Each structure stands twice: as C-alpha cells, then as structure tokens.
Structure 1
Amino acid sequence: MLHLSFSPARPPSVLMLLLSLATPLSFADTAVVETAQGATMTYEYEGDSLRLTPDRDNPQNYTILRDGTLFSVSETNGEPTVINVSQAMALLGAAVQQAAPGAANARVESLTKTGRKETVANIEGEVYDITFVDFDGKTQRAQMVLSKDPRAVRFRDAVFTFATVVTESMGQEIDQEQLQSQLIAENLGVLRYGDDLSVAVIQEDTINPQRFELPAPPIDMSNLGGLQNMLKGSSDNSDMSKAFDKLLGN
C-alpha cells in the first residue's frame, strides 16, 4: 500500500519515498490531509520551509523542515525538546535502512487516466489508475486523483522537498524512474490516494515566519549508541518502532 504521509516517529512510507524530488517552492499554503480513520495531518509550507503537525489534538508535537534539515519538536510539562532528525538518521546509518528495508526500491509500472473527473478539496482533478511494485516485490494497484491546479502542484512540491530530505538523511539514493518524475513531467499534484488519504483543504495563506523557528536548541545527538545497538540487534519491527519513538521523544 502507498501512503502520502510520514510519521516522524517511524520510517517514511513508500509513497513519501516515491515522491522524493522537488521543484522550488515560492508560495505559502496550509494543507490538511485526512485519513480513512478520520485522523488529520496539517502541512504549512513556504519557500523551502515546512511545518508538519501529525495530530491536530496534539499541536505541541510537530516536525519542522528548514535549511535542508528535519527537526522533531515535542513538549513535556511545557518544556520543548528539539531533535535533529536528519543528523540522527545519518548517525544511525544502516540501522535506519534496516528499519525500512527496500522501501526506496518501490517501482511504478504504469500511471494511466481513467477518463473520470473528481473534485477534491474544491479542486478539480482527474482519476488515474496506478500500478506499482512494493518493497516486498508484490504488484499493487490503486487509484489516485491528480490535478494541474497550482495549489495541488505546490503541495506536491512541499511533500517532495520533505521526502528528499528524509531519503537523503537515510543515505539512500533517489530513483529517477519512480512516480515523482512522471508527476513533475506532467505538472501534476496529488489530491487523493485510494480511500486511505485525501486532501481536505489547501488554503493559500500568509504564514508567520515564527512557525518555522525552533522553540529550543536541538539536543546533543552524541548519545545515540544505545539506540543504534538496539536497532542493529533486532529484526523485530516493534522494537525498531520503539527505538524511533524514543529517539524522537515520544
């Protein structure tokens, strides 16, 4: 299954790794994405900066992308904790790749129009059938709603920028033959993936620059030995997930 989101406490999903090249951003927008379970993720982006709040009920926990670096922010008893996620991923190296084996190798086989139109978040798009091979080597099929609307394209670029930093921080190479190259070539943005994820709203906005500022200096990342050993010494995904949760202060 493809996904459009990235939870900073866990390895990036397949679609986020597929959407891994960006064109420069020049507008400020706020986009809200809804899952089939009713959860929401809020993206605020301007230039090459982005703020992702995975849960609107816990706005004190969020991720900031600025200056090409990813930071996780959490708050306990009113005290913020900031972690340089890009640095952590680079230090963990191969252990991070073990936690998301082969995800970057997912390959799109076809992306074709169905001839149907669909309006998502008050933006008209076209329905496409997508066939891809997932990281387990299995062929998967789904439908996506894509649009040339500038709002959808800017959201695509924000997601691409985010995914690029995540992928490169993990030490993985970006495959130019994956979905992102087709979307960029056709100037298409993603509005919906299957029944799992859908853009609820994209609001052209003016974002206070303070939204992209860190509330505290990042903590010292030199104490990663225990987490690295935990990841290397376990093939259990639940243990890996716990290690990422601990790394990101959750």
Structure 2
Amino acid sequence: MPHQRFTAGLLGGLLAALSAAVWADGSATWGAGGQSMSIAWRDAQTVRMDVQGGDYMLVRDGNAYMVSHRGGQPMVIDLSAMRQAMGGMAGSAGPAAPAAGPSGGDALVEIEATGRTETVAGIEGEIYRVVYRDDGGQGTQEMVLSDDPLAVEMTQAWFAAIAALSGGNGGADADRMDRELAERGLGLLRAGDDFKVSSISAGARAAGDFELPAEPQAMPGMGR
C-alpha cells in the first residue's frame, strides 16, 4: 500500500458508537489521484458514493451494493454475496471505490499538531504531522484535521463505507488511525497532495437516493 495514502476501516464497537451518535444528513466531494468522488450520508450505516457514468454504490446496514444500469434498467449487485460466490476473492479483486480518499487500518505511530491552520472547503482545520505504519513500512504525511461536525461525519461515513466495501474484519489493533480520529473527534480535510475535500455541506437528499432500485443479485445475471 503506497505511503501517500491514508488508510482506515471502521468496524466493531466503533460502528456501534457511531450508530448511537446524532447525525445530520450531509454530502461532500473530494479530489484524489486526479479524479473526483461524491459521497452522501445519513449515518454510518447509510452511505451513497456516486461515480462516473451514473453508477453508484450504496452502503446500508453494513452491506455494500453497486448500482448500475443496463438497457435503461437498474441492476444491483450485492458485493458481500459476490465475495461469497467467488470464494472470498472479491475482497481483494472486487469493485473498489474510485478516487479513494482515506482507507484502511494502518497503525498510528505518532500524531503531532504543528500549530498551523488551513482552511479547506470553507472549514478551518489544524495541520498535523502523522506518522503511520502500513504493509510497506513506515510513512509520514501532513494532514489537515478538523473537529467540525460535518468533517467528522464525512470521514466516519467514508471509513464505514470502505469497511463494508472491502468486507474487512477491522482487526483488533488499538492504534488504528480510524479509531484514533474517532476518539479525538476529528475529521479529515486534506492528506498530503493526494486527497483534498473540495466541497461539503449539510442537507438531506431525497429518500429514494438511499433505496435499492431493484432486487440485489450476487453476480450479474444471477438472481438471489
């Protein structure tokens, strides 16, 4: 996993804690790797990520689905069922969210406030120096973090979505970055030059935007 990417997965007791919190509907757009991605959420269990071409991903109650259209008709793929049908291989080779922002359970080695601030997408955050360890070794990255509720919710919604999409079990490491940010009540606005939130706002989307438009199936052309 490249050192330039800030990674995390959000599961277990953390998800339970987030579910108990009071959430406000919101949406955000960020840029990463020269691409852009939009995310909308109601809570950590209800997240939508829109991708290019009108396709989108839904996370509902810890389950992830990909919604596309074929011949003008919606098609819903149950990513958890697809992983099972492929003997677990889809966990590593299945669909992944484009323009990935923060992802995975890297171990937090050190997080230090620099005393400097930066405004990103209209939200003032503090610049931190973060040292972390992943499969490739140890890396350091400058991150802009904020306790603004919208930034916190967006980050937690993304972590929960990545956990559902990857089918990961979250592990038991106490020093995971996702847990550290949740405990500190911080959200991510920028990570180095690779990830930056461009817009973020509160406001509900239409109820149907979080509903499955068709019966899910494990694989294209296979009914459940």
TM-score scaled by structure 2?
0.80
Q: Among the aligned pairs, what percent are the same residue? A: 29
Corresponding position of 2:100: none
Query: 1:128: Cα distance to partner?
Result: 0.6
Deviation at 1:197, TM superposition (A): 0.8
Q: What does residue 110 of structure 2 align with?
A: 110
* Larger relative strand fraction: 2
**Would the alpha carbon gap of residues 54 and 176 (structure 1) be closer, same or farther in structure 2, given more than 3 Å must change?**
farther
Mark the CA change 1:75 to 1:2 in structure 2 (over 3 Å): closer, same or farther: farther
1:44 maps to 2:40: yes
Q: 1:29 aligns with which of 26, 29, 50?
A: 26
**Following the alignment from structure 1 to structure 2, what is the Cα–Cα distance between the partners of residues 110 and 119?**
23
- Per-residue CA deviations over 1:100-128 (Å, capped at 9, x if unaligned) read 9xx96632211111111000000000001
Quote the offset at 1:179 in angstroms: 0.4
Q: Distance in 1 between matches of 2:201 and 2:70?
A: 31
Aligned to 1:53: 50
Read off the aligned partner of 1:124 and give its amino acid letter: E
The aligned residue for residue 121 of structure 1 is: 121
Query: Are residues 116 and 93 of structure 1, via their aligned partners in 2, closer, same or farther at CA, if it must alter by over 3 Å?
Result: farther
Count of equivalent residues: 206
* Structure 2 unaligned blocks of 5 or more: 95-102
TM-score calculated relative to the size of structure 1: 0.72
Query: Residue 98 of structure 2 aligns with which residue?
Result: none
Alignment of 1:126-205 (within 5 A): 126-136=126-136, 138-167=137-166, 169-171=167-169, 173-205=171-203
CA distance in 1, matches of 2:69, 2:154: 27
Q: Is the 8 A contact 2:145 2:186 kept in 1?
A: yes
Conserved in 2, the CA contact under 8 Å of 1:128 and 1:146? yes
| Distance verdict in 2 for CA 1:222–1:117, change over 3 Å | closer
Could you tell me which runs of 5 or more consecutive residues in structure 1 were left unpaired when the two chains were aligned. 5-13, 225-250
Rounded Cα–Cα distance in structure 2 between residues aligned with 1:186 and 1:117: 17
Measured against aligned partners, the alpha-carbon deviations of 1:193-244 in whole angstroms (never above 9, x if no partner) come to 11111111111112111001112111244999xxxxxxxxxxxxxxxxxxxx
Q: Which has the higher helix share?
A: 1
Cα deviation for residue 131 of structure 1 reads: 1.1
Aligned with 1:15: secondary structure?
coil
Note the alpha carbon deviations across 1:59-115, whole angstroms, 9 max, x for none.
x21100112210001113312221001222244455346659xx9663221111111
* Equivalent in the alignment of 2:62: 68
Contact 2:105 2:177 (8 Å CA) reproduced: no
- Tell whether the 8 Å contact from 1:90 to 1:171 is kept in structure 2 after alignment: no
2:117 partner amino acid: K
